[in-house]
């Protein structure tokens, strides 16, 4: 492990030395009139619009079989590997290390032209324990999947790169729809649970992922009787990277090993990523095919000759444990009670002993906000957003015309979570991401945003403030004069501005295209890079101190809350919340298409405001980021605020539902 420790220390020195789908865009073209719509009819309390996933889970014998099948394929291919299995909420059920498997991996340093970035920046070139990659791949397969969609780490690779779909022939296309999602589920997240001693609450999720979400092939979801129950990840070649070309078919040994692992636990064919499109492009599930597998080895006793179960600091004690059944109290995610949330479809996060981890509460920022959010207002925001979701047509779920399923978070201006709810089968990744999105919108719309970033000691975080002010030609940018959604912030976080247009400059929160890869996205990574390194040193055994549960080192708000305690997110699905023109919080949504996420947050805030009549709602039009025109010399480009999908609802033919608001 000495190589890993040395590489992490070197990167620490480098860091310390550094100075959507639809086309409707609310407010995007200017000249929009006053609101004319009425609040939607709330879903009756007794209504159940969503089926609850069956209580399935992985047994010890299941995990043994999955590992044995992976080991057999790895042995046949001559690639000793590390194999990790998790349940749906991210508990590591076991890690198996084959004899001779590489002890470490290195995060890719490739830039778009195929050369190496020298020196590495952001999270490139990290040498860390290989188990961190295997676990991250397993978590990715489990977290991105649901009863309506099965996504792999290859799917993730396709949707996080600078062009979608990524290929040598696609320059000029916009970035992937989930650009930036790889830096969620972070080991420093204050939402994600951590591995601990056996006992009450030990299995609650969502658990953190050691490297966020993975874009390296070799991670798949696991299913039993059509129900997603976990994920498997394989790390063998030491190269933790991504696929820059979806036009060819890769012969990836790690992917074949993982494919062998899921035999008997494969997703239903009809929900594979291949059956789902985004912006007219079919997604990818796997380049490996069953016909290319060696004869399956299913005996764990036989596999044990070729390796052993190993402990991983912070994740596994070195034995196989059974998985938690998603939806049970033990899993940390269960159906809400009537007292917790009115709509009987709603699920909440629990502590494993019956208590809601994020109960609806009043805002904590009375020292900064004259009329902060009340508990009743938070409840109305969550209920109205949940109602919009219940009516919305899903993009990423099968069968067609399924209802969207997402997670919804509301925060105050300090970033305190005031309530988190989700639908029964929403993908797990959206829980942490919805909170990231809510906090990002509230933070970048706040008068203290620029000053907080300038006070962050990590890397060159502070330098991004001047970059955005120079780019926008506005010395007062990030002082609360404009309202920023995640879509607007994402516009400024792309390696081309406008997004995808080759030859244009990079957005001021991004890296130039010559430096960009999915491990080097700019401000997003710089905010959390030190935490990621600290955690990697902890897992490697080089440090007794793990990263704190507070991503980023922006100054704490009064009371100690970090406004960006689980990092920022840079793809759409959030709006800041205002009262009579004054910022009072943010709402974030994640789990379906990005336009659906935008619509649910935007209409949720709008409808809650109409319902309450308390001045609460979306930002005034003249404060929204889509009033900002960026001068590019030979063109002026307007930022976007939100985009809402075509044919958005299942119960009406209404179009342009976000216009005029």
* Of residues 29 and 94, more confidently modeled: 94
pLDDT higher than 60, residue 608: yes
- Would you say residue 661 lies in a domain? yes
Side-chain half-sphere of 183: how many Cα atoms within 13 Å?
A: 33
Residues 195 and 316 in one domain: yes
Q: What is the pLDDT of residue 133?
A: 98
> For residue 360, what pLDDT band results from cuts at 50, 70 and 90?
very high
DSSP letter for each residue of 458-501: STTTTHHHHHHHHHHT-TTTTSSSSB--HHHHHHTTSSSSSTT-
> For residue 199, what pLDDT band results from cuts at 50, 70 and 90?
confident
Total domains, the chain: 2
Q: What average pLDDT does range 481-493 have in this prediction? A: 98
* Whether the bond into 119 is cis, omega within 30 of 0: yes
pLDDT higher than 60, residue 16: no
Strands 227-235 and 219-224: antiparallel
> For residue 198, what pLDDT band results from cuts at 50, 70 and 90?
confident
> For residue 170, what pLDDT band results from cuts at 50, 70 and 90?
confident
Q: What is the pLDDT of residue 460?
A: 94
Residues 6+ apart with CB under 8 A from 613: none
* Of residues 25 and 317, more confidently modeled: 317
Residues 6+ apart with CB under 8 A from 573: 433, 434, 437, 486, 487, 588, 589, 590, 594, 597, 598, 600, 601
Among 276, 298, 325, the domain boundary falls at: 325
Residues 149 and 233 in one domain: yes
Q: What is the pLDDT of residue 44?
A: 41
CA pair distance 416, 326, nearest whole angstrom: 26
pLDDT 10s digits, 409-446: 999 999 999 999 999 999 999 999 999 999 999 999 99
pLDDT 10s digits, 452-480: 999 999 989 999 999 999 999 999 999 99
- Would you say residue 15 lies in a domain? no
Single pTM value for the model: 0.94
Residues 317 and 408 in one domain: no
What mean pLDDT value characterizes the chain? 93
pLDDT 10s digits, 217-272: 999 999 999 999 999 999 999 999 999 999 999 999 999 999 999 999 999 999 99
For residues 97, 101, 102, 105, the Cα torsion angle rounded to the nearest 10 degrees is: -50
Number of H-type helices and E-type strands within the chain: 14, 21
pLDDT higher than 50, residue 600: yes
For the chain, give the percent of residues with pLDDT over 90: 90
> For residue 279, what pLDDT band results from cuts at 50, 70 and 90?
confident
pLDDT higher than 60, residue 17: no
Residues 183 and 244 in one domain: yes
pLDDT 10s digits, 505-516: 999 999 999 999
Residues 64 and 196 in one domain: yes
Residues 432 and 577 in one domain: yes
Residues 317 and 437 in one domain: no
Residues 6+ apart with CB under 8 A from 73: 256, 257, 259, 260, 261, 293, 294, 296, 297
- Would you say residue 524 lies in a domain? no
Which CATH number do you get for residue 645? 3.30.450.150
- Would you say residue 527 lies in a domain? no
Token pair for residue 487?
């879509």
The two most distant CA atoms of the chain are separated, in Å, by: 71
- Would you say residue 548 lies in a domain? no
- Token look-up 């390796």 returns 307
pLDDT higher than 90, residue 139: yes
* Of residues 535 and 36, more confidently modeled: 535
91 is in which domain, residue-wise? 60-325
Is the Cβ–Cβ distance between 135 and 235 less than 8 Å?
no
Residues 376 and 318 in one domain: no
* Of residues 326 and 36, more confidently modeled: 326
Residues 240 and 97 in one domain: yes
pLDDT higher than 60, residue 338: yes
Q: What is the pLDDT of residue 349?
A: 98
Residues 318 and 436 in one domain: no
Q: What average pLDDT does range 618-644 have in this prediction? A: 96
Among 277, 297, 325, the domain boundary falls at: 325
DSSP state of 181: G
DSSP, collapsed to helix, strand or coil, labels residue 555 as coil
- Would you say residue 474 lies in a domain? no
DSSP, collapsed to helix, strand or coil, labels residue 204 as coil
Q: What average pLDDT does range 603-625 have in this prediction? A: 97
Q: What is the pLDDT of residue 171?
A: 87
Strands 227-235 and 92-98: unpaired
For the chain, give the percent of residues with pLDDT over 70: 93
> For residue 18, what pLDDT band results from cuts at 50, 70 and 90?
very low
Q: What is the pLDDT of residue 459?
A: 86
> For residue 113, what pLDDT band results from cuts at 50, 70 and 90?
confident
Q: What is the pLDDT of residue 28?
A: 36
Q: What average pLDDT does range 525-551 have in this prediction? A: 97
């Amino acid at each position: 492990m000495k190589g890993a420790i040395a590489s992490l220390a070197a990167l620490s020195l480098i860091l310390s030395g550094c100075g959507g789908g639809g086309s409707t865009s609310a407010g995007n073209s200017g000249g929009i009139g006053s609101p004319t719509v009425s609040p939607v009819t709330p879903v009756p309390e007794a209504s159940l619009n969503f089926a609850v996933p069956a209580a399935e889970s992985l047994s010890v014998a299941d995990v043994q079989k999955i590992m044995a099948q992976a080991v057999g394929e790895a042995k046949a291919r001559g690639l000793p590997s590390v194999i990790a299995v998790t349940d749906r909420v991210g508990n590591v059920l076991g890690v198996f290390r084959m004899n001779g498997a590489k002890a470490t991996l290195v995060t890719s340093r490739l830039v778009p032209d195929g050369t190496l970035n020298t020196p590495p920046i952001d999270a490139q070139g990290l040498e860390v324990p290989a188990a961190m990659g295997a676990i991250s791949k397993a978590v990715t397969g489990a977290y991105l999947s649901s009863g309506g969609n099965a996504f792999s780490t290859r799917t993730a690779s396709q949707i996080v790169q600078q062009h979608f779909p990524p290929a040598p022939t696609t320059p000029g296309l916009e970035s992937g729809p989930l650009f930036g999602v790889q830096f969620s589920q972070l080991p420093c997240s204050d939402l994600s649970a951590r591995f601990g001693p056996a006992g009450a609450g030990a299995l609650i999720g969502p658990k953190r992922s050691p490297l966020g979400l993975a874009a390296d092939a070799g991670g798949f979801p696991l299913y039993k009787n059509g129900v997603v129950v976990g994920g498997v990840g394989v790390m063998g070649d030491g190269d933790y990277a991504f696929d820059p070309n979806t036009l060819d078919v890769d012969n990836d040994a790690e992917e074949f090993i993982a494919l062998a692992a899921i035999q008997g636990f494969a997703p239903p064919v009809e929900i594979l990523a291949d059956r789902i499109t985004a912006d007219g492009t079919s997604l990818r599930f796997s380049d490996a095919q069953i016909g290319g597998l060696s004869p399956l080895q299913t005996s764990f006793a036989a596999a044990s000759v070729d390796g052993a179960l190993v402990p991983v600091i912070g994740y596994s004690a070195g034995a196989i444990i059974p998985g938690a059944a998603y939806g049970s109290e033990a899993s940390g995610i269960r159906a809400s009670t009537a007292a917790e949330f009115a709509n009987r479809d709603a699920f909440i996060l629990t502590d494993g002993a019956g208590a809601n981890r994020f109960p609806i509460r009043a805002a904590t920022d009375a020292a900064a906000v004259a009329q902060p959010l009340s508990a009743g207002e938070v409840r109305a925001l969550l209920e109205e957003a949940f109602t919009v979701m219940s009516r919305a047509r899903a993009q990423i779920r099968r069968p067609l015309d399924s209802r969207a399923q997402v997670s919804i978070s509301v925060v105050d201006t300090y970033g305190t979570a005031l309530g988190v709810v989700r639908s029964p089968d929403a993908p797990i990744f959206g829980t942490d991401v919805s909170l990231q999105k809510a906090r990002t919108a509230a933070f970048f719309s706040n008068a203290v945003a620029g000053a907080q970033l300038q006070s962050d000691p990590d890397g060159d975080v502070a330098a991004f403030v001047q970059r955005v002010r120079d780019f926008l030609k506005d010395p007062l940018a990030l002082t609360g004069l404009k309202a920023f959604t995640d879509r607007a912030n994402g516009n400024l976080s792309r390696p081309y501005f406008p997004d995808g247009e080759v030859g244009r400059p990079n957005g001021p929160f991004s890296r130039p295209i010559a430096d960009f890869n999915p491990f080097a996205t700019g401000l997003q990574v710089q905010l959390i890079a030190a935490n990621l390194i600290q955690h990697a040193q902890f897992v490697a055994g080089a440090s007794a101190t793990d990263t704190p549960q507070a991503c980023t080192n922006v100054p704490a708000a009064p009371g100690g809350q970090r406004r960006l305690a689980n990092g920022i997110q840079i793809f759409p699905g959030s709006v800041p919340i205002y009262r009579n023109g004054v910022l009072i919080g943010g709402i974030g949504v994640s789990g379906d298409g990005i336009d659906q996420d935008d619509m649910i947050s935007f209409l949720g805030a709008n409808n809650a405001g109409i319902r309450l009549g308390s001045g609460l709602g979306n930002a005034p039009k003249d404060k929204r980021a889509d009033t900002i025109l960026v001068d590019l010399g030979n063109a002026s480009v307007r930022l976007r605020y939100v985009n809402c999908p075509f044919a958005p609802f299942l119960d009406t033919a209404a179009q342009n539902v976000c216009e005029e608001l």
